């Protein structure tokens, strides 16, 4: 099987490189920039890609390039910081740009390069850099420039080393995927021999081998991610998998019952329902800091799972593993586990884990994006009603209630959110958008209902379009649909007199409010 290794120098979009490669049918792995070249060589890669990153090559603590990577003998593509590393280490010269260049630029193909095969004379690309290559290393030809950048792309066709100052992996670079495709198939001559069917087969076999004679507890929320994990593991180890659904007290209306019913209806899962709502809500009482909410929920989840594991162990069963539906966006946004990227926020199943656990983690989806998970789910025969359920965060409504969590505020948000879901489905927009939900704000405003003055809560609508949750834009929902949501919420949810619409993209905002 063809394999591309991506060396991560800390870019927040490194995972998009892996995504583009896999979309083109080639298996890829991301490894941290601290990894040694001999370890990468042992993986027998067919090509190497050096990612972008936030550092400046000349800084004392900036990530370095292990020159052994260039001696493995496979094609290399450097992107942004990766290009600057190549230039710096191979005898070129760098300089600081007068201003940081961020945004679209017109790339002119000023020299021949295999990467440009099938393209025109120019292309719109996306720049994000502060430094630039002012002199290409010996053996490199300058093959791309912009109005502000004399060396926007360079290549050494003989050694098969290519470097781009822009980001071909982001969708703003119009021919970026074509350039990556040329690198994979025209330069490295790889085979498109990887797909979600192969992924599922590989993961099932790996999990079966890793678990051996042990048993696994699966943190099952009923969402797409944990359901796919459960079905994968069920195929791998059968009823040695112990699925546990925990009611944490911050679920949507009737969610616990609905989740348990459809999972038992569709799958032969070894499933236990645990009502820990009082435990969670007691620990969350009075807490308004979003990170503290996430940490509390993360730690409490693990406590509950360990208790359940101990109960199973008491019956003579050896429980050695905890399975979770962790995805790439969770990992990248939570911790700099692959490279020196900036931490944005913690996730309950990544950043909230205590230092010591009695179980090892199994996270078979941590290298995938949401749409890839759905593709795996389809391979496994999971029904569309489950696969296309909107993402719901592990901390649940706790991070959609801005401020302190109370039963009263939970009831308000549950009713409002139910109306949002109902109207999205009734209008046919549920499948068209990535995610839609209500947020309860920590303020009250004056209103008039009937002949009286009101002073009640505000609900914000957050409805977004996305592909993988790494970037998102607000959905252009028809005005009549929004109007119906607003009217119903104000009329039917006691305690609300105003509805507002969030029209912020990601970045700079996140999809969730906390």
CATH number of residue 60's parent domain:
3.40.50.880
Q: What is the pLDDT of residue 103?
A: 83
Q: How far is CA 24 from the centre of its chain?
A: 19
pLDDT score of 352 more than 80:
no
d(CA 302, CA 254): 23
Query: CA 491 to CA 316: how far, in whole Å?
Result: 55
Element (H, E) at 124: strand 122-135
Residue 66, annotated as binding a ligand: no
Closest by CA to 394, choosing from 338, 447, 350, 454, is: 350
Query: For residue 153, is it within any domain?
Result: yes
Asked whether residue 307 falls in the same domain as residue 426, the answer is: no
Residue 178 has pLDDT above 70, yes or no: yes
Q: Is residue 510 part of a domain?
A: no
218: annotated active-site residue:
no
pLDDT attached to residue 61? 86
End position of a domain, from candidates 353, 387, 421: 387
Q: Which domain holds residue 205?
A: 196-387
What pLDDT does 358 receive? 67
Q: What is the mean pLDDT of residues 352-356?
A: 44
Q: Mean of the pLDDT values across residues 389-399? A: 89
Asked if 109 and 119 count as a contact pair (C-beta separation under 8 A), the reply is yes
Strands 241-247 and 271-275: parallel
Provide the mean pLDDT of the chain.
88
406 CB burial (10 A radius; 0-12, 13-18, 19+): middle
Q: Do residue 222 and residue 104 come from a single domain?
A: no
Of 95-109, 206-220, 264-278, 432-446, the least confident: 95-109
Q: What pLDDT does 60 receive? A: 82
Q: Per mean pLDDT, which range of 199-203, 334-338, 481-485 is the poorest? A: 334-338
420/382 same-domain check: no
Q: Is 509 annotated as a binding-site member?
A: no
Residue 393 in any domain: the answer is: no
Residue 71 DSSP label: G
Inside any domain, residue 392: no
d(CA 145, CA 108): 5
Instruction: Report, as an integer, the average pLDDT of 438-447.
Output: 94
Q: Would you say residue 345 has pLDDT above 50? A: no
Which residues, in sequence order, are CB contacts of 93 under 8 Å at separation 6+?
87, 133, 134, 135
- Residue 51 marked in a binding site: no
Band of the pLDDT at 332, cuts 50, 70, 90? low
| pLDDT attached to residue 316 | 82
- Which H helix or E strand runs over 378? helix 370-379
Q: 167 catalytic, yes or no?
A: yes
Residue 321 has pLDDT above 80, yes or no: yes
Q: What pLDDT is recorded for position 306?
A: 79
Report residue 275's pLDDT band, with 50, 70 and 90 as the boundaries.
very high
**Residue 334 in this model has a pLDDT that exceeds 60:** no
Beta strands 452-466 and 472-474, pairing class: antiparallel
Each residue's pLDDT tens digit, 235-245: 999 999 999 88
The order of strands in the sheet holding 76-79 is 27-32, 3-8, 47-50, 76-79, 161-164, 153-156, 141-145, 93-109, 122-135
**Mean pLDDT calculated for residue range 386-398:** 88
Cα–Cα distance measured from residue 2 to residue 176, given in angstroms and rounded to the nearest whole number: 21
500 is in an annotated binding site: no
Identify the three-state secondary structure at position 62: coil
Q: Are residues 211 and 171 in the same domain?
A: no
Helix (H) or strand (E) holding 228: helix 224-237
Whether 347 is catalytic is: no
What is the dihedral sign for C-alpha 151, 75, 177, 3? negative
Q: What is the pLDDT of residue 343?
A: 42
Is 222 annotated as belonging to a binding site?
yes
3-class secondary structure for 342-376? CCCCCCCCCCCCCCCCCCEEECCCCCCCHHHHHHH
CA separation for the pair 236, 246 (Å, rounded)? 23
Residue 143's contacts (CB-CB under 8 Å, 6 or more residues apart) are 109, 110, 111, 112, 113, 115, 116, 153, 154, 155
Whether pTM exceeds 0.85: no
pLDDT at position 322 is 85
Cα(470)–Cα(12) distance, rounded to whole angstroms?
9
- CA dist 498 and 486 (Å) reads 8
For the record, the structure tokens of 139 come out as 């053996």
CA 144 vs. chain centroid, Å, equals 31
- Given a cut of 90, is residue 344 above it in pLDDT? no
Distance between CA atoms of 293 and 291, rounded to whole angstroms? 5
Angstrom distance (rounded) from CA 324 to CA 137? 46
Lowest mean pLDDT among 96-100, 109-113, 196-200: 96-100
Using 50, 70 and 90 to split pLDDT, how confident is the model at 347?
very low
Residue 357 has pLDDT above 60, yes or no: no
Same domain, 362 and 450: no
Q: Identify whether residues 168 and 272 lie together within a single domain.
A: no
Task: Specify whether 124 is located in the same domain as 269.
Answer: no
Return all residues near 46 (Cβ < 8 A) that are at least 6 apart.
2, 3, 4, 74, 188, 190
**Which CATH number characterizes residue 491's domain?**
3.30.300.10
> Within this chain, do residues 345 and 373 fall inside the same structural domain, yes or no?
yes
Q: Does 421 reside within a domain?
A: yes
The predicted-structure confidence for 193-210, as pLDDT tens digits, reads as follows 888 888 899 899 999 999
Tell me what percent of the residues of the chain surpass a pLDDT of 70.
93
Which one from 167, 215, 242, 348 is the annotated catalytic residue? 167
> 387: alpha, beta or left, given left = phi > 0 and alpha = psi -120 to 50?
alpha
Q: Same structural domain for residues 110 and 134?
A: yes
Catalytic residue (choose from 169, 333, 363, 514): 169
End-to-end CA distance of the chain: 41
Tell me: is residue 223 an annotated ligand-binding position. yes
Of 80, 143, 218, 243, the catalytic one is: 80
Query: 509 in a domain, yes or no?
Result: no
Q: How confident is the model at residue 171 (pLDDT cuts 50, 70, 90)?
A: confident
Q: Point out the domain boundary residue: 387, 411, 431.
A: 387
Residue 512 maps to a domain = no
Share of the chain above pLDDT 90, in %: 62
For residue 37, tell me if it sits in a domain: yes
Whether the per-residue pLDDT at 232 is higher than 90: the answer is yes
Q: 300 falls in which pLDDT band (50, 70, 90)? A: very high
For the chain, what is the domain count?
A: 3
The mean-pLDDT minimum among 61-75, 87-101, 164-178 falls in 87-101
Length of the chain equals 514
Domain co-membership, 258 together with 314: yes
pLDDT at site 123 = 95
25 is in an annotated binding site: no
Q: Whose CA is closest to 397, among 407, 387, 388, 389? A: 407
Residue 355 has what pLDDT?
46
Sequence-distant (≥ 6) Cβ neighbours of residue 442 within 8 angstroms: 288, 402, 403, 404
In angstroms, the CA 472 to CA 466 distance is: 5
For residue 493, is pLDDT > 50?
yes
Identify whether residues 178 and 256 lie together within a single domain: no
187, 175, 90, 81 alpha-carbon torsion, rounded to 10°: -130
């Amino acid at each position: 099987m063809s394999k591309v290794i991506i060396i991560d120098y800390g870019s927040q979009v490194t995972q998009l490189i892996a995504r583009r490669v896999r979309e083109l049918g080639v298996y890829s792995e991301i490894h941290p920039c601290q990894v040694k070249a001999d370890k990468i060589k042992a993986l027998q890669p067919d090509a190497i890609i050096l990612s972008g990153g936030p550092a400046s090559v000349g800084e004392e603590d900036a990530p370095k390039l292990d020159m052994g990577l260039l001696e493995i003998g496979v094609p290399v593509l450097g992107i942004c910081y990766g290009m600057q590393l190549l230039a710096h280490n191979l005898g070129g010269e760098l300089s600081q740009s007068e201003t940081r260049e961020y945004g679209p630029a017109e790339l002119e193909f000023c020299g021949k390069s295999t990467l440009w095969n099938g393209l025109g004379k120019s292309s719109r690309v996306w720049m994000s850099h502060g430094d630039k290559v002012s002199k290409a290393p010996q053996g490199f030809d300058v093959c791309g420039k912009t109005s502000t950048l004399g060396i926007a792309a360079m290549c050494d066709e003989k050694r098969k080393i290519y470097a781009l100052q822009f980001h071909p992996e982001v969708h703003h670079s119009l021919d970026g995927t074509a350039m990556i495709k040329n690198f994979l198939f025209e330069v490295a001559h790889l085979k498109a021999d990887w797909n979600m069917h192969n992924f599922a087969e590989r993961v099932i076999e790996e999990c079966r081998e890793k678990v051996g004679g042990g048993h696994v507890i699966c943190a099952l929320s009923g969402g797409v991610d944990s359901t796919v994990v459960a079905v994968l593991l069920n195929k791998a180890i059968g009823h040695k998998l112990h699925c546990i659904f925990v009611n944490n007290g911050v679920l949507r209306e009737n969610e616990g019952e609905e989740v348990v019913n459809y999972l038992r209806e569709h799958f032969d899962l070894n499933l236990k329902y645990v009502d820990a709502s009082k435990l969670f809500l007691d620990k969350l009482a009075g807490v308004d800091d979003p990170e503290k909410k996430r940490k509390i929920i993360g730690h409490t989840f693990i406590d509950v799972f360990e208790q359940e594991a101990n109960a199973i162990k008491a019956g003579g069963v050896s429980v050695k593993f905890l399975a979770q539906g962790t995805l790439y966006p969770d990992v990248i946004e939570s911790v700099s586990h692959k490279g020196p990227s900036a931490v944005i926020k913690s996730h309950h199943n990544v950043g909230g884990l205590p230092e010591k656990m009695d179980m090892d983690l199994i996270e078979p989806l941590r290298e995938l994006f949401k749409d890839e998970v759905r593709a795996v789910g389809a391979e496994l025969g999971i029904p569309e009603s489950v696969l296309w359920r909107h993402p719901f965060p592990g901390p649940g409504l706790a991070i959609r209630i801005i401020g302190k969590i109370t039963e009263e505020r939970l009831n308000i948000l549950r009713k409002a959110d139910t109306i949002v879901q109902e109207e999205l489905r009734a209008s046919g927009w549920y499948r068209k958008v990535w995610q839609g939900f209500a947020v309860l704000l920590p303020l009250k405003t004056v209103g008039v209902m009937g002949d009286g003055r009101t002073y009640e809560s505000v609900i914000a609508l957050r409805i977004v379009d996305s592909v993988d949750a790494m970037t998102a834009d607000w959905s252009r929902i028809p005005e009549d649909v929004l109007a119906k949501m607003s009217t119903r919420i104000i009329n039917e949810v006691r305690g609300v007199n105003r509805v507002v619409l969030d029209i912020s993209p990601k970045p700079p905002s996140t999809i969730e409010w906390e």
